[in-house]
Chain A
Amino acid sequence: MSEAAHTHTAPGAASATMLSVRDLNAWYGESHVLHGVTFDVPPGKVISIVGRNGAGKTTTLRAIVGLLKKRTGSIVVEGTETIGLKPRQITRLGIGYVPEERGIFSSLSVRENFTLPRVVRPPIMDRDEIFTLFPNLAHRLNAPGTKLSGGEQQMLAMARILRTGAPLLLLDEPTEGLAPVIIEQIGETIRRLRDKGFTIVLVEQNIPFAWSLTDTFHVIEQGRVVDSIATGHGQTDAIGRLKSYLGV
């Protein structure tokens, strides 16, 4: 497989799946938290995983990157089975992960946070492009990571994985706790990334935010996917359906 072949996949152009999760079961210690999660992520698409608190959204992302020790089932990343791999081996296959709470290291400067994740592919966006996307970060490189505002931390968390060249981005609630104007910026950023050909798995509670970005919603309840809803034409009742799942 040539590396160039999948770094610039146009949205919807390729038929193979970027990420395929089959019958994923996972445990936190003794407690069984995922009960057969199954979904596919086609290249260049934005998939949103929604569900109530504790339904298993964050856990699904954590299981994909290997942070749950006990997992069964199948997680295939561009043709490579990852269920038996360690986190560092999994993300090297081309996954960029933005955790819940953003995971900015407080003892590292913005620059160090930015350069920490290892580069896994030739970059899709170079440094200048990344800082054009997140202009706030460019002149705060020497600041400690935690001196940034919540929005800036979210941008840094995204910027540092864009630097790795990973074509598949897992974003865990990127809008959580942010002001509406910042949420708008994050939405605009995700839209641009989608247009660039990135494949994105979004965990979101904010349906109105996710709606315009998402190609397909997967609803998770009690550790399994209970419904999948494609956006687009003729789906006028879809928002209502999603909201009823979330109880909002």
Chain B
Amino acid sequence: MDLFDLPLPILFGQLMLGLLNGSFYAMLSLGLAVIFGLLNIVNFAHGAQYMLGAFLTWMLLTYLGIGFWGALIIVPIVAGLTGMVIERVLIAPLADADHLYGLLLTFGIALVIQGGFQVAYGAAGIPYRIPEALAGGQRFGAIFLPNYRLFVLVVSLTVCIGLWLAIEKTNLGAYLRAATENPELVSVFGINVPLLVSVTYGLGAALAGFAGVLAAPIYSVNPTMGVELLIIVFAVVVVGGMGSIAGAVVTALVLGLIEALTKIVYPEAASIVIFVIMIIVLMVRPTGIFGRTA
């Protein structure tokens, strides 16, 4: 099928969906890339932290009557603090061990969290309502854009760009970049690197939790939602280049779009196209498209 033979609304709808998925990939891969850069661990718990964000959003509403807007503020804070505790208590003691241990540990953490939620809430999805203020949508001729999806797109891109600027332009960001390159020397320069590591991991977890809140009204809230997404996000990070922040975000959006377009042209390939691209990139440019060569 030719892309350009499609009715505009369908093409546009798919592009929108691609960008939307891409913005979730972006939020998660950004956190993953920053954590990988500084801690040198592939954070398998990232998907669980995202799932936790969505569940917390639902729990806040169900048990405490706190709605979406409250969750948007509370959940990232809870996720961030939990992340910092996990880093301090579980990950930090492994800092000097082989990085494989960190990977196994975070994988274990993910399984424990996911398993716990499966026992408590079952594997079926739980719906979460789109907040009142963002219900409905905008109509441009034949094209309909749901308000909530526009909101997610704008918010997630703002957060990603904001974080990118914070990392590239601020002093704290300079500490982070420097510690990513040479943590020893940064510690000699008077900076508390273990604290920087905890804060960074906490920020990554907070961002995953934040994405979870945004995801709750779109995707159904269920214990495996993180695993499914995380596998794709890993591919995104590999394609973009481990440790490259802007690269992770741009790659996430582009791959989201490619995935959506594949769904139109050849739906059967939609679920594997990102991985095919990952394999090609690994063969042609193992450091990733935006990765720095060592």
Q: Which residues of A contact B (CB under 8 A)?
A: 65-67, 86-88, 90-92, 97, 99, 103, 105-108, 112, 115-118, 120, 164
Contact = CB atoms under 8 A, between A and B. Distances in A.
Contacts of B184: 67, 87
A103 B185 CA distance: 7
Nearest to B186: A116
A112 B174 contact: yes
Interface stretch (B27-35, B113-121, B187-195): B187-195
Given A105-B178, A107-B181, A86 B171 contact: no
Nearest to A90: B188
B175 A91 contact: no
Nearest to A92: B190
**Which 3 pairs from chain A and chain B are nearest by CB?**
A118-B190, A117-B189, A107-B177
A211 to B, nearest CB: 29
Contacts of B178: 105, 107-108, 112, 116
Q: Of residues B174, B180, B181, B188, which shows the largest number of chain A Cβ atoms within 10 Å of its Cβ?
A: B188
Interface residues of B, number: 19
A86 B192 CA distance: 10
Contacts of A115: 171, 174
B188 A66 contact: yes
Contact of A88 (B180, B182, B190): B190
Interface string B190-217: 1111000000000000000000000000
Secondary structure of the B contact surface, majority rule: helix
A123 B186 CA distance: 20
Contacts of A87: 184, 187-188
A147 B175 CA distance: 20
Given A105-B182, A107-B180, A107-B181, A67 B175 contact: no
Interface in B161-182: 171, 174-175, 177-178, 180-182
20 contacts: A65-B188, A66-B188, A86-B187, A87-B187, A88-B189, A91-B190, A92-B190, A99-B185, A103-B182, A105-B177, A105-B178, A106-B292, A108-B174, A108-B177, A108-B178, A112-B174, A112-B178, A115-B174, A116-B189, A120-B190
Contacts, number: 57
A118 B187 contact: no
Contacts of A90: 188
Nearest to A86: B187
A106 B181 contact: yes
Contacts of B185: 99, 103
Contacts of A108: 174, 177-178
Contacts of A91: 188-190
B172 to A, nearest CB: 11
B161 to A, nearest CB: 18
Nearest to B243: A107
Contacts of B190: 88, 91-92, 117-118, 120, 164
A116 B190 CA distance: 9
Most A Cβ at <10 Å: residue of B171, B175, B189: B189
Contact of B188 (A97, A105, A106, A112): A97
A195 to B, nearest CB: 26
Given A105-B177, A117-B189, A118-B190, 4 more contacts: A67-B184, A88-B190, A105-B178, A116-B174
B8 to A, nearest CB: 43
Nearest to B184: A67
B193 to A, nearest CB: 8
B188 A116 contact: no
B177 A88 contact: no
A120 B191 CA distance: 11
Nearest to B96: A69
B175 A105 contact: no
A116 B173 CA distance: 11
A116 B189 CA distance: 7
Contacts of B191: 88, 116, 118
Among A86, A107, A120, A164, residue most surrounded by chain B Cβ atoms (within 10 Å): A107
B49 to A, nearest CB: 26
B63 to A, nearest CB: 43
Contacts of B182: 103, 105
Contacts of A97: 188
Nearest to B173: A112
Contacts of A106: 181, 292
Contacts of B171: 115
Nearest to A111: B174
